[in-house]
Amino acid sequence: MTVLVTGAAGFIGFHVSRALLARGEAVVGIDNLNDYYDVRLKEARLAELTSVDRFAFERGDVAEDGVLLALALKHPGITRIVHLAAQAGVRYSIQNPGAYIHANVQGHYMVLELARRLEELDHLVYASSSSVYGGNAKRPFSVGDRVDRPVSLYAATKCSAELISYAYSHLFGLPATGLRFFTVYGPWGRPDMAMYIFTKAMFEDRPIQLFNHGNMRRDFTYIDDIVDGVLACLDRPPDRHHDAPHRLYNLGNHRAEELRRVVSLIERETNRQAKIELAPMQPGDVPETFADIEATTRDIGFAPRTSIDEGVPRFVEWYRAFHGV
């Protein structure tokens, strides 16, 4: 069995690929290695993966016509796809909306087109986001809640991907599952995420901005728990005989943590005092995320185990080692 992982040099893609390899599967990874953040981090992740014989890597943009078809011809026998390639970041979507339409809408369409043409494919798992819940005032966020009021273009592209996936499942009997990730963090994490930004600022003795004047809460989910959820989902495809074999699940820690508490944990691990600047809410942002994971636990046995009290020290330890501080 061969699994195609798109976005394999990305944070979640790297960890999912490594876990698949660890359990003996062959993985074909694709990534365009764009410069949204430091490419050296992506290359370091890839170096870890390419040390395993069962990992094959292709550099390419999944949104470009013909790229995925050529990959499938070169690597026959793909039976599952984990589609994680995307343009991430809420705030950057305001500056460069075209990048999001290209990667998150056109790219997702290309993956769906490949999936429906692979005769041996039994499951497509793809990344959605907690951002789809927009300004939803109900807590916690449930997969049955409205998602037609996105407050960022990034969120709108993820909503679009879910709708297009449902249509493909209905029309072509394609087993597909969308996973709404909640604030993923951990070793090898993205430099544009709060955990990385805060830690880097403290080591460099620079101020940290807390938006909404510090009144922010996030459902921080440790990467190992996310990977467990992705693999558990991948191994349980929807029934092809349903009218539309398509599902959606939240992958979160089922806790809304105050950002100030996260900062205090990083202070403890770095043995440094944060310099905090309070700032207004940023366009496209929301004050709180909080995942309802009842359906995810019921259907695929998802049970996150890592609290931020355990996860933050692990991230800081990795950060120290990787950056030599």
Question: Is-above-0.95 flag for pTM?
Answer: yes
Give pLDDT, residue 165: 98
Give pLDDT, residue 213: 85
Name which of 36, 310, 85 is nearest 193 in CA terms: 36
Instruction: List the 2-6 sheet strands across, edge first.
Output: 55-59, 26-31, 2-6, 78-83, 123-129, 176-181, 246-251
Give pLDDT, residue 133: 96
SS3 letters for 226-287? Answer: HHHHHHHHHCCCCCCCCCCCEEEEEECCCCCEEHHHHHHHHHHHHCCCCEEEECCCCCCCCC
**DSSP secondary structure string, 204-234?**
TT-EEEESGGG--EE--EEHHHHHHHHHHHH
Which residues carry out catalysis?
154
Residue 169 has phi, psi (to 5 degrees) of -60, -45
- Return the amino acid letter for 310: E
Beta carbons within 10 angstroms of residue 241's beta carbon: 7
Beta carbons within 10 angstroms of residue 70's beta carbon: 12
Give pLDDT, residue 156: 95
Give pLDDT, residue 266: 98
| DSSP letter assigned to residue 101 | I
Set out the domains of the chain in order of their start, with CATH numbers: 2-182+222-252+290-305 (3.40.50.720)
Name which of 141, 79, 134, 85 is nearest 109 in CA terms: 85
Query: Where would I find the H helices in the chain?
Result: 11-22, 39-50, 67-74, 92-95, 97-100, 107-117, 153-172, 194-203, 223-234, 259-270, 294-300, 308-323
Tens place of pLDDT for every residue, the chain, 325 residues?
A: 899 999 999 999 999 999 999 999 999 999 999 999 999 999 999 999 999 999 999 999 999 999 999 999 999 999 999 999 999 988 888 889 999 999 999 999 999 999 999 999 999 999 999 999 998 888 999 999 999 999 999 999 999 999 999 999 999 999 999 999 999 999 999 999 999 999 999 999 999 999 888 889 999 999 999 999 999 999 999 988 888 999 999 999 999 999 999 999 999 999 999 999 999 988 878 889 999 999 999 999 999 999 999 999 999 999 999 999 9
